[in-house]
Amino acid sequence: MSSKMIPGRERPKDVCQFGVPFDKNGHPTWFQPVPSTATAAPVAPGLRVNNSLTGEKEEFVPLEGNKVKWYTCGPTVYDACHMGHARAYLTMDILRRIMEDYFNFEVFLQVNVTDVDDKIIQRARRNKLVDDYAGAGHALAAVKAKVGDAVGAFAAKQAKKLAKLEIPLTARREEDERVELLEQHKQKMANFAEAKAKIDAALATSDGEAIVRAASEPLAEALDAELGESVTDHEIFNAHSRRFEAEFMEDMTALGIRPPDSLTRVTEYVPQIVTFVEQLVAKGLAYASNGSVYMDISKMRACGHAYPKLEPSKGKATEAEMAESEGTFTAEAGEKRNATDFAVWKKSKGGEPSWPSPWGGGRPGWHIECSVMATDLMGDNMDVHAGGYDLKFPHHDNEIAQSEAYHGCKQWVNYFFHFGHLHIKGLKMSKSLKNFITIRQALAGHTARQIRLMFLLAPWDKPMNYSDQTIDEAKVDATLLPCASLLTCHPVHGSHHHHLLPEGAREDAAQLLWSRQGRDAPRVARPPHLVGRGRARDE
């Protein structure tokens, strides 16, 4: 098996140059790449792509001939993947197939797995605490009292947040955000109302274990507040991540998505992340404070770096956006120089995994992971960066900021693709809203080809509503269209539905196709019906 060339730091400096700068639609300056005369292979003409860095279609010009370096933000593996994830990664796959099989580009695709994150840490810790409580043999009366207190506190917290969200705001942007958050919170309250009915029914029985399971969400929150700092074993967090990472791999295989050329994990890059952050501090563009490290937005701008690039109207993050950016991490009063400075390294608290650093025990900030992993394989510039639309700000804008500060460049990414949301009953499909359908549930009733075609019925970068009518329309069209590259449900060797394979074979196939492949990633075999079309990946 031959090895695939990994792009990166060995790229000759004269391979690509940037042409005339453009200022479009209120975005900071964007530079159109221009192929160099040193380019060995001609560029396929005629492709124009929607570029989030300019807000319009641009001619697609790769850095080096027909080679395309592409990084996509992968999953945060804290729960099962749902159809919103399916839309993102099937869209990625469809666009990649167009580039590879129609335009004959040689795409190098890197996808990351976020396997340490506030959501993962909290979910793994709370699951551990609930399991321990359930197995501790508490008296039934004690369990009922504990659950009653936890449910009351949870309901009070929801009511307090509702009261805050019902207060109109004067600023247009904050008001629009408030209205959206209010609808989401009402959905969460409706979910809890349903859960509370089940909790009340369980409380009327003498089954302590059933009571604990019915009340797992409010009970987990209460136990976390009391005992969370006692959970310190890294393996608790690792086991949680590995479980859902394996499920993600199986789901991608089942959907017929071509494996990436490299799948990288955050936990395998912590030393490089520390070094990356040290360099930002050395440049004076980040600063240490109370064991954490923050990007200094003011100094970064003073050095000529534009921020934010993707959402220029959001130069000052709202309270909700900062909360989304930092997760459960909360800076202490006076810890940050400016409210918009974001954490690149977080001081670990009790109940959180911790790695050594010059600033004390801590863990990576959310955005820094992608900068470091992409830099390792892509270098100081890449052709394409992609991810869900909801990652534009703050995640992708913060990622661009710290990467351009590190590399001392004006343009780390040439083309940014953002995949549209999948909505259900008017709200974005989301784990936090519990309004999702898992990929496995969808595949139990529909083929991978039907799901793929459903997403092809809507523009790839616009919101789409998931409904029975939409999937039924895709079913009809699937019977009328020939099986082409974009509609294929055969990722490798012609197999699709993962549930048709024996358990062991299913896991082996998923690990083979979607396992981390590293720098010397093997090329994967080409589907039989595509042999001879586009570029060969198994030469």
- Residues contacting 332, CB < 8 A, separation 6+: 290
| pLDDT at 505 > cutoff 50 | no
Q: 81 or 487: which carries more pLDDT confidence?
A: 81
Domain match, 195 and 166 both: yes
Count of domains for the chain: 2
Which of 235, 270, 300 terminates a domain? The answer is 235
* Position 170 in a domain: yes
| pLDDT at 80 > cutoff 50 | yes
- Worst-scoring range by mean pLDDT, 14-18, 129-133, 158-162, 528-532? 528-532
* Position 159 in a domain: yes
Q: pLDDT band at residue 4, thresholds of 50, 70 and 90?
A: very low
* Position 25 in a domain: no
Average pLDDT over residues 347-355: 96
| pLDDT at 394 > cutoff 80 | yes
* Position 249 in a domain: yes
- Worst-scoring range by mean pLDDT, 24-38, 176-190, 299-313, 338-352? 24-38
Domain match, 157 and 268 both: no
Measuring CA to CA, how many Å separate 220 from each of 323, 391, 432, 536?
Answer: 21, 28, 15, 51
Taking only the tens place, the pLDDT of each residue in 440-465 is: 999 999 999 999 999 999 999 999 99
Cis omega (within 30 of 0) for bond into 394: yes
Taking only the tens place, the pLDDT of each residue in 516-528 is: 333 333 333 333 3
* Position 426 in a domain: yes
Give residue 325's pLDDT.
61
Among residues 296, 318, 261, 257, the alpha carbon closest in space to that of 449 is found at: 257
Domain match, 93 and 148 both: no
DSSP character for 317?
Answer: -
- Worst-scoring range by mean pLDDT, 94-108, 118-132, 306-320, 351-365? 306-320
Domain match, 228 and 311 both: no
Average pLDDT over residues 276-293: 98
Domain match, 397 and 516 both: yes
Q: Which domain range does residue 450 map to?
A: 74-118+244-378+392-406+420-530
Domain match, 250 and 227 both: no
Neighbour tally for 23: CB within 10 Å: 10
Domain match, 203 and 313 both: no
| pLDDT at 532 > cutoff 70 | no
Which residue(s) pair with 386 in the sheet?
Answer: 72, 417
- Worst-scoring range by mean pLDDT, 150-164, 467-481, 516-530? 516-530
> The whole model's pTM is what?
0.86
Domain match, 142 and 230 both: yes
Domain match, 226 and 154 both: yes
* Position 292 in a domain: yes
Which of 215, 235, 255 terminates a domain? The answer is 235
Domain match, 150 and 161 both: yes
Give residue 426's pLDDT.
76
Which of 188, 218, 235 terminates a domain? The answer is 235
Give residue 170's pLDDT.
94
Taking only the tens place, the pLDDT of each residue in 319-343 is: 777 666 666 667 777 899 998 899 9
* DSSP H or E segment with residue 284: none
Two structure tokens written together for 533: 């079309």
User: Can you tell me the distance from the alpha carbon of 284 to that of 239, in angstroms, rounded to the nearest whole number?
Assistant: 38
Domain match, 315 and 442 both: yes
* Position 255 in a domain: yes
DSSP character for 392?
Answer: I
First to last CA, the chain: 9
User: Can you tell me the distance from the alpha carbon of 183 to that of 189, in angstroms, rounded to the nearest whole number?
Assistant: 10
Q: pLDDT band at residue 469, thresholds of 50, 70 and 90?
A: confident
* Position 195 in a domain: yes
Among residues 11, 35, 6, the alpha carbon closest in space to that of 107 is found at: 6
> The domain spanning residue 481 has which CATH number?
3.40.50.620
Among residues 136, 193, 133, 185, the alpha carbon closest in space to that of 164 is found at: 185
| pLDDT at 233 > cutoff 80 | yes
Helix 234-254 and helix 83-97, axial crossing angle in degrees, nearest 10 = 60
Q: pLDDT band at residue 432, thresholds of 50, 70 and 90?
A: confident
Give residue 331's pLDDT.
73
Domain match, 488 and 505 both: yes
